[in-house]
Every structure is written in structure tokens, then in C-alpha cells.
Structure 1
């Protein structure tokens, strides 16, 4: 596995300031990315069985997400694995979502080693969830005042203003940059 410093360096290297490249890098190879997605899905299904579900993202910086139910993990937590369009980076966490505290719990060393090896075979880079949850200060997630106004108006209509304000207090993370909807 690459060192945390090398992983941070890679995350920064692939962060293109051009707003045209929020979802995919300049040299994005769609067939190769889809092949990696299907190969990772196959590896997860061989390890955890047919209950693994997979879905591809749209309008997102991630290519797809894999869900492994609690019953299949052999632990008391479900597993989520995400593959980004960038790098392509892969991250994994447990429980209800990668943004939640403690989502790294239950990722045993044996699983992390296995996932890192699979990623290396597929030409991917495994990035621990602890690292992708670090603050992101790059150029691509500059706030768009017009978009913020529209989102605030929609939140006000739906009554989600209080929840939205709490989310706004948190700085963006590498998870937002490489593993989220844009």
C-alpha cells in the first residue's frame, strides 16, 4: 500500500482546476473505467457472494458503488466500496455511509490488504477512508453563488434549512472531490 503522504500527493496531482473536469479527468478512458468497475464487482462477488450489489454513478466524480450487506461481511456492519473516475481511486467504509464517524471501523487488515492487492491488479489506487475524509482545499469545489442560492431556496421549500446549515459548517473533503455527486 502506498504511504499516506504519497496518496495525498496523488490526490492533489489529479485535481484539475478546470471546471470541465469535475466529474472525469481530461484523459478519461470510458471503456477501461467500465472494465475496472466490472472487474472490481467480480472480485467483490467472489469474496462476499451474490448479495453484493453494484451501481454506477451519474453526474458524479465516482464511477460506481458496491454494497455488501451485513450478513455477507461476517461482521456486524455492512460494507461500501466506491470507485472514483479519478486515478481511479477506490475507498471503502462500513456502516450506513462513508461520511459518518466510525465508518472505518470493521475494515480489518486482511480485507484492506486484499482490497489494495485487487486495486493494484486493476490499475487502481486504494485510499483509506480516513484519508479521503481529510479537508479538501483544492480549486475545483469553489462555491458557486448562483448554485448556492438555488439550493438554499430548494431547502427552504422542503423545510430542510436547519439540516443544510449543519452540512455547510463542514469543510469539503477529498471524499466530496473524488467520490460524490457534482
Structure 2
């Protein structure tokens, strides 16, 4: 006979209570480098526009644009520092958890049985800091994929090997 017993929700382990492992502090340097590259391009465009466009309104707006970009740069650096502290991951017996975000905190839990394949990637800058990203691709919806950036290369490789043995 079919029975459908109710589960006590309080007895289920809470993913929010799991202690997350922090990512490498060197990843913050990569975030800074990316921000400075972006803003160097933006400052360059504003300066180039001032020098190439010979209109009065461009000269009048130039310093407002520079100050605005500078304030945005400071804001993005502060947000990067604060959100960096919220990044973390955890491996459990049956799943992997990754959390990130400051204003929009997101915690993703991927069961091992949904993992299709794994990749460990390194960008040019990440290689200089011996860092890598672990990409976990899942079956089903595209929103279930997971990418953990800021792991040391050894740690990303070790987790990749562990997950590969778990899913096979």
C-alpha cells in the first residue's frame, strides 16, 4: 500500500547553517585589476572625447564626468571588498554549496547527482596568482550551473577530482 509520510521540516539540515570555506584572498587582487582596467578605458574615452570633440558643452561636462567616474570607481571598490567577504563554498556528502553577493546574496546548492561535467579554468591574470575557477555544469535548467572563482589552482583541481569520482 502507498503511504506518503509527512517530513518534519525542522529535522532537515539547513544549508544556511553550513560553514563555508573562503576563497583565496588573492582573488580580490584580480577583482581590483579588472575594475581598474574597466575604469581606465572609461576615463580614456572621456579624455579622448574632450580632446576630439571641439564643442563647448563637452568641455563643460568633462570635469563632472571625471568626478562621476571617480565616485563610481570608489563605490565599486567598496562593494567588491564587502561582497568578497560573502563568497564561500562547502562540500557535503551529497552536494556542493556556493554563496556570493552583497546586495543580492545568492546561495546555490547543487546535488552531485545533477552534475553533468566539470571544468577547471584559468584566465591569463589568474595564472599569475595561481588561481582558477571551477565550473560545475548540471542537468536540466541552465540556472543550476555553478561557477566558483578564486580557488587556488591546486584546490580547484582537487575538488574537480573529488567530484569526478563522486559522480562516476
| Band the TM-score falls in, shorter-chain normalisation | under 0.3
Hey, which of these two has a bigger chunk of strand by percent? 2
